[in-house]
Structure 1
Amino acid sequence: MRVTLLYASAPRTVHEVELDLPDGATARDAVRAAGWPQRYPDTASPDEALSLAVWGRRCEPDQALRDGDRLELLRGLRVDPKVARRERFAGQGARGAGLFSKRRPNSKAGY
């Protein structure tokens, strides 16, 4: 059974390993077979455990894998995406982004 293991240690940096595992192997077995620790060394704190996902859907370490699965190690978010978007929007201004950036002359707001 072939499985691809991915981890993005930093922005624009992705580590990818192709693994040959026995049938019935779990996500935990795949991480161990790659030689990567469950807690990757460059996480924010040593207590922060990484999450696992198969094709972008979260899974438990004891979930069985299938041939061709793509297993991903997920880091925690550093910034809440909603807060980051609000801050970007405040910096651009209400009329500098999105639907309201280009208005037809003499039209109502949002058109």
Structure 2
Amino acid sequence: MIEVEVAYATPEKQRILSLSVKDGTSVYEAVLNSGILAEFPEIELANTDMGIFGKVVKKPKEEALQAGDRVELYRPLKIDPKQARLNRASKKG
């Protein structure tokens, strides 16, 4: 067994759940086993990007975890970061 974490955050609430999984467990399986979906029922796992320590995982059902990994679930952006910077710059005048 290896120790991993699963993390998700909204503006109102952040959670990092620790769990033990079998060696060879995929990113996707760890998310399912973590219980995070019960705390955040709004997560649509099929449409949610996942990563390990800030690096997006292209195939979460195939990517095996290593001891100490933190799986992160990413919310979609509400606005393009470049557009947000332009908006802030235009407000400053």
TM more than 0.5: yes
TM-score if structure 1 supplies the norm length?
0.71
Q: Which runs of 5+ in 1 are unaligned?
A: 94-111
Residue aligning to 1:18: 18
Q: 1:23 to 1:15 in 2, by over 3 A?
A: same
- Counterpart CA distance in 2 for 1:12 and 1:47 is 20
The structure with the larger Rg is 1
Residue aligning to 2:51: 53
> Which amino acid letter does the alignment assign opposite residue 88 of structure 2?
R
> Which amino acid letter does the alignment assign opposite residue 54 of structure 1?
I
Residue aligning to 2:90: 90
- Counterpart CA distance in 2 for 1:5 and 1:36 is 8
TM-score if structure 2 supplies the norm length?
0.84
More helix by share: 2
Residue aligning to 1:80: 80
Higher relative contact order (CA 8 A, sep 6+): 2
Q: Does structure 1 conserve the Cα–Cα contact (< 8 Å) formed by 2:6 and 2:36?
A: no
Instruction: Give me the identity figure in percent.
Output: 33
- Counterpart CA distance in 1 for 2:45 and 2:23 is 32
Q: CA deviation at 1:47?
A: 9.2
SS of 1:29's equivalent in the other structure is helix
